[in-house]
């Protein structure tokens, strides 16, 4: 059962909370209103007049055919159909599918795509962009889990990343085995442990012990039944699909800073912090060079890495882009534009951080002769296990204010005792953060099995806002 609650204080940044309410001062940073059907209809007409590379659709088919669990439904036919529009979301490839919010983003995209397909009577396909190019890999190699004694356990995969993009990080058999042993030590051998362990081991093998590959195999098992397909941008770069937007970025980068600065000034005037800080020297292009990924900085016609590992003239950089496009990728502010160059994006399902940096780049879309897609806020969820639901019921705790109370580190309310408060804090507000940003799905699968997950997906509607999900022990 899902129960919607008022958005708790402290769970989302003010910018995101106000976007949920579609305040006029916020909406102006974006293109269209996510609650209005007319916004999507206008966007669909706009996309029908544009062309997109058919090669990327064939790449999508190839990638998803090679997953251990293929998406269900007519996804292959839809992907190849030039009329098909996309609802896209994405995240870095984290351990055990990353924090719960990653799955919530994927499911929100699925449910939104279904509603929009029915509304507009054109094929709409949900797609998850796996950010394999991201090189801040260390946080992706660890995760937290609720332990049976009510504490919080840490799992850390032993592997040296050395600045590599996530898509190039490989784990040896010992690292995978060590990670799964830590899972046993922290979460315990729940009722479905053997089944989940066998699945995770098989997924690691199917992903060829690659961090991103493991993530994609896990995501395919959890979301294939919902029809979600996955995309690896490093494969697109290898197929020369990045060449055109990279060259366009090179042409626009000198003017891009002024364009972004205009939006940043408006954000500052409205007292909103900037999600992405600039120094004014960014070229907005990243390069993987000698097994490390670097930002390319720009000074006149000279391009260089921050510590001088590489120095290129404009002509040398142009030659590299044409001859070796696979070593280049967009920086965080340009990633959405590359995405929308490849796919007719009807809507993008965004979390709080993404929404904030989208607000900085609306003018960049105009420089690329494009329009920003509709930004749809992901659905937020807190899982309330049966034992915790019993505590809430016995103490007559109000779910509408529970997370706000926990975020304020409440000591006693309505007869709570210290033990119950600690259990609720550790499970619903772990490490002083929302549950969806800290825990992953695996401990819940170990305790309740895949039937729990199937029921969750079926009932998940994907509407913006925050919800508690409660279930019976036997589900």
The whole-number mean pLDDT for each consecutive block of 10 residues of the chain, a chain of 475 residues, reads: 90 91 89 95 95 94 92 92 97 96 98 96 96 91 88 89 88 92 85 94 92 96 94 87 89 84 88 86 91 91 91 94 91 92 97 91 90 97 95 90 83 61 90 95 95 96 96 71
Is 294 contained in some domain?
Answer: no
Is 413 contained in some domain?
Answer: no
Give the 3-state secondary structure of the chain.
Answer: CEEEECCCCCCCCHHHHHHHCCCHHHHCCCCCCCCCHHHHHHHHHHHHCCCCCHHHHHHHHHHHHCCCCCCCCCHHHHHHCCCCEEEEEEECCCHHHCCHHHHHHHHHHHHHHHHHHHHHCCCEEEEEEECCCCCCCHHHHEEEEECCCCCEEEEECCCCCCCCCHHHCECCHHHHHHHHHHHHHHHCCCCCHHHHHHHHHHHHHHCCCEHHHHHHHHHHHHHHHHCCEEECHHHHHHCCCCHHHHHHHHHHHHHHHHHHHHHHHHHHHCCCCCCCCCCCCEEEEEEEECCEEEEEEEECCEEECCCCCCEEEHHHHHHHHHHCHHHEEECCCCHHHHHHHHCCEEEEEECHHHHHHHCCCHHHHHHCCCCCCEEEECEEEEEECHHHHHHHHHCCCCHHHHHHHHHCCCCCCCCCCHHHHHHHHHHHCHHHCCHHHCECCHHHHHHHHHHHHHHHHHHCCCCCEEEEEECCCCC
Number of domains in the chain: 1
Query: What's the pLDDT at 215?
Result: 97
Is 266 contained in some domain?
Answer: yes
153 touches 144 (CB < 8 A): yes
Query: What's the pLDDT at 317?
Result: 94
Tokens 């294939």 appear where? 224
How far apart (Å, rounded) are the C-alpha atoms in residues 60 and 233? 10
Is 351 contained in some domain?
Answer: yes
Is 264 contained in some domain?
Answer: yes
How far apart (Å, rounded) are the C-alpha atoms in residues 400 and 402? 6
Is 260 contained in some domain?
Answer: yes
Range of the domain at 270: 1-275+331-386+437-475
How far apart (Å, rounded) are the C-alpha atoms in residues 170 and 213? 9
Query: What's the pLDDT at 410?
Result: 56
Contacts of 258 (CB under 8 A, 6+ apart): none
Is 89 contained in some domain?
Answer: yes
Domain containing residue 219: CATH number? 3.40.50.620
101 touches 378 (CB < 8 A): yes
288 touches 327 (CB < 8 A): yes
Is 346 contained in some domain?
Answer: yes
Angle among Cα 63, 64, 70 to the nearest 5 degrees reads: 155
Helices 386-394 and 418-428: crossing angle in degrees, nearest 10, is 140
Query: What's the pLDDT at 256?
Result: 87
Query: What's the pLDDT at 8?
Result: 85
3 touches 463 (CB < 8 A): no
Pair of tokens at residue 415? 């007869």
How far apart (Å, rounded) are the C-alpha atoms in residues 468 and 389? 10
Q: Which residues are registered as beta bridge partners of 4?
A: 467
Contacts of 366 (CB under 8 A, 6+ apart): 259
Sheet strands side by side (includes 85-91): 229-231, 124-130, 85-91, 345-350, 374-377
Contacts of 436 (CB under 8 A, 6+ apart): 99, 100, 101, 104, 380, 381, 382
User: Phi, psi (5° rounding) for residue 89?
Assistant: -145, 180
Task: Name the nearest CA neighbour of 92 among 246, 290, 234, 225.
Answer: 234
């Amino acid at each position: 059962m899902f129960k919607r609650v008022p958005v708790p204080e402290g769970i989302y940044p003010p910018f995101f909370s106000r976007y949920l309410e579609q305040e006029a001062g916020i909406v102006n940073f974006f293109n269209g209103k996510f609650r209005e059907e007319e916004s999507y209809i206008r966007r669909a007409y706009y996309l029908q007049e544009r062309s997109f590379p058919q090669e990327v659709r064939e790449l999508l088919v190839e990638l998803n055919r090679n997953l251990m669990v293929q998406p269900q439904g007519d996804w292959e036919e839809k992907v190849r159909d030039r009329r098909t529009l996309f609802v896209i979301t994405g995240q870095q490839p984290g351990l055990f599918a990353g924090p719960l919010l990653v799955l919530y983003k994927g499911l929100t995209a699925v449910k939104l795509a279904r509603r929009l397909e029915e509304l507009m009577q054109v094929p709409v396909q949900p797609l998850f962009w796996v950010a394999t190019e991201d090189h801040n890999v260390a946080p992706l190699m660890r995760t937290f889990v609720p332990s049976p004694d009510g504490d919080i356990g840490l799992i850390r995969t032993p592997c040296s990343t050395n600045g590599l993009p996530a898509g190039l990080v490989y784990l040896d058999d010992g690292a995978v085995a060590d990670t799964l042993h830590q899972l046993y030590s922290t979460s315990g051998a729940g009722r479905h442990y053997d089944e989940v362990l066998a699945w995770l081991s098989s997924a690691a093998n199917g992903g060829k012990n690659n961090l991103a590959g493991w993530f994609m195999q896990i995501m395919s098992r959890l979301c294939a039944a919902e029809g979600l397909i996955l995309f690896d941008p490093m494969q697109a770069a290898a197929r020369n699909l990045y060449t055109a937007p990279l060259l366009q970025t090179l042409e626009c980068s000198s003017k891009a800073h002024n364009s972004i600065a205009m939006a940043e000034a408006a954000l500052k005037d409205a007292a909103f912090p900037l999600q992405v800080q600039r120094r004014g020297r960014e070229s907005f292009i990243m390069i993987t060079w000698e097994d490390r990924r670097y930002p390319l900085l720009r000074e006149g016609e000279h391009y260089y890495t921050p510590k001088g590992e590489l120095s290129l003239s404009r002509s040398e950089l142009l030659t590299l882009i044409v001859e070796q496009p696979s070593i280049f990728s967009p920086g965080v502010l340009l990633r959405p534009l590359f995405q929308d160059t490849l796919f007719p994006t009807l809507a993008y399902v965004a979390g709080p951080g993404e929404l904030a940096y989208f607000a900085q780049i609306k003018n960049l879309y105009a420089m690329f002769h494009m329009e920003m897609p509709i930004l749809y806020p992901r659905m937020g969820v807190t899982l309330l296990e049966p034992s915790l639901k019993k505590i809430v019921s016995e103490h007559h705790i109000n779910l509408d204010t529970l997370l706000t109370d926990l975020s304020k580190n409440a000591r006693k309310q309505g007869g709570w005792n210290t033990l119950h408060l600690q259990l609720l804090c550790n499970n619903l507000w772990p490490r002083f953060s929302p549950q969806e940003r800290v825990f992953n799905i695996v401990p819940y699968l170990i305790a309740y099995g895949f039937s729990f997950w199937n029921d969750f997906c079926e009932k998940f509607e994907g509407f913006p806002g925050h919800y508690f999900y409660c279930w019976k022990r036997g589900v």
